[in-house]
Amino acid sequence: MKSNLLDFDAHALTGYFTEMGEKPFRARQLMRWIYKEGEHDFSAMTDIAAALRDKLAQCACVAAPNIMREELSGDGTRKWLLDVGTGNAVEAVYIPEETRGTLCVSTQAGCALDCAFCSTGKQGFNRNLSVAEIIGQLWWANQQLGKDADGNWKISNVVLMGMGEPLLNFDNTVSALRLMLDDHAYGLSRRRVTVSTSGIVPAMDRLREECPVALAVSLHAPNDKLRDTLMPVNRKYPLKALLAACGRYLERAPRDFITFEYVLLDGVNDSLQQARELVQLVREVSCKFNLIPFNPFPQTHYRCSGQDAVCRFRDVLMEAGIVTTTRKTRGDDIAAACGQLAGLVQDKTRRTAQHFAEVS
């Protein structure tokens, strides 16, 4: 079987060439072609000797996952559904904004952590994505979106907030992160790459040591009692341990705050009292809050909090001096929220067939 070069970070690719009896600098050369130029055809890599190009064509390839469907929302949000084999699909979503373009990337097919409000969780865990399947989402999206007038890829930021728990697919996630950061690959700054975690405490410590990037932590409740019911992972890593890990992470983090994500669920975690409890809970951690409107999906009984509740909740945090943003829903018309498109495809409902055009 051919080696997929998207599976190798700089260190692994150097090893690959050394084993082939080639000079280590070939790895940097190849990376520049693959990631900076978006090239997958070895015969087009003109500054590489013809003999090596032939050898690579025989034993290697540059293969991102196949695209099953593509959807474009009225607000410019684009979503790709990627086929990762054996009936599994994952998604990548591009969100354009005035000053940046953000790609939301998946790290697992499904998720084992079963958060009560999450459609990915409802699908159960299928498998970890390979490095090629993670970095391949960025590679593919860059191909599709192209470069801006200055010759830079339009994607300036990456968030690991798609399907799956990145820190439970640690090694592959870190190799993909290294490619995002590597100057010979995408060269993104650590501040522009964000890992979102449900709070896998030992892996947060490892990430801090091995590859500190911006960190978002899914909080969603102001106390263990409620968080235990919304996020079963809390029973293993309760809030006290999680907040201590956030403090340790900040010692090495590229930004001087942790972003706490908080999905507002009507009548569940959105009261004034809970907002005040939350302020107390996080008082020792330098943080910002991102309040996320709940995205409903077919098998859920939760509802999105009303506009008034959202504003009141936000005001309590802001009055306590915590910078708080309220995420706009984007790409509603294409089910762009976490896990939704893949869920629909697995349902194989008529709605899916009507809703999405095959990418030819």
Give the residue numbers annotated as catalytic, written as ranges. 91, 338
Q: How far apart are the C-alpha atoms of 314 and 260, rounded to whole Å?
A: 13
CA atoms within 13 A on the CB side of 23: 6
- Residue with the CB atom nearest ligand SF4 in the bound state: 121
What x/- string results for residues 136 through 175 when contact with ligand SF4 is judged by CB under 6 A? Answer: ----------------------------xx----------
Nearer to ligand SF4, 324 or 340 (CB): 340
161 binds, among ligand SAH, ligand SF4, none (CB under 5 to 8 A by kind): ligand SAH
263 binds, among ligand SAH, ligand SF4, none (CB under 5 to 8 A by kind): ligand SAH
Give every CB contact of residue 320 below 8 A, 6+ residues apart in sequence.
Answer: 279
For β-strands 287-293 and 258-264, DSSP reports them as parallel
CB of 294 to ligand SF4, least distance (A): 12
CB of 125 to ligand SF4, least distance (A): 9
Whole-Å CA distances, 101 to 81, 197, 312? 19, 21, 30
Instruction: Count Cβ atoms within 10 A of the Cβ of residue 53 and give its class: 0-12 exposed, 13-18 middle, 19 or more buried.
Output: middle
Q: How far apart are the C-alpha atoms of 105 and 125, rounded to whole Å?
A: 17
Q: Locate 43 and state its tokens.
A: 């015969």
Nearest Cα to 61, choosing from 9, 5, 11, 13?
A: 5
In this chain, which of 65, 121, 293, 343 binds ligand SF4, going by CB under 6 A? 121
Please calculate the CA angle 259-260-262 and round it to the nearest 5 degrees: 140
For residue 230, give the 3-state DSSP assignment: helix
CB of 55 to ligand SAH, least distance (A): 40
What x/- string results for residues 74 through 113 when contact with ligand SF4 is judged by CB under 6 A? Answer: -------------------------------------x-x
Q: How far apart are the C-alpha atoms of 196 and 231, rounded to whole Å?
A: 14
In this chain, which of 77, 102, 120, 169 binds ligand SF4, going by CB under 6 A? 120
83 binds, among ligand SAH, ligand SF4, none (CB under 5 to 8 A by kind): none
Where do contacts with ligand SAH occur on this chain (CB under 6 A)? 117-119, 161, 165, 196-198, 218, 261, 263, 292, 294-295, 337-338
| Residues in touch with ligand SF4 (CB under 6 A) | 111, 113-115, 118, 120-121, 164-165, 198, 218
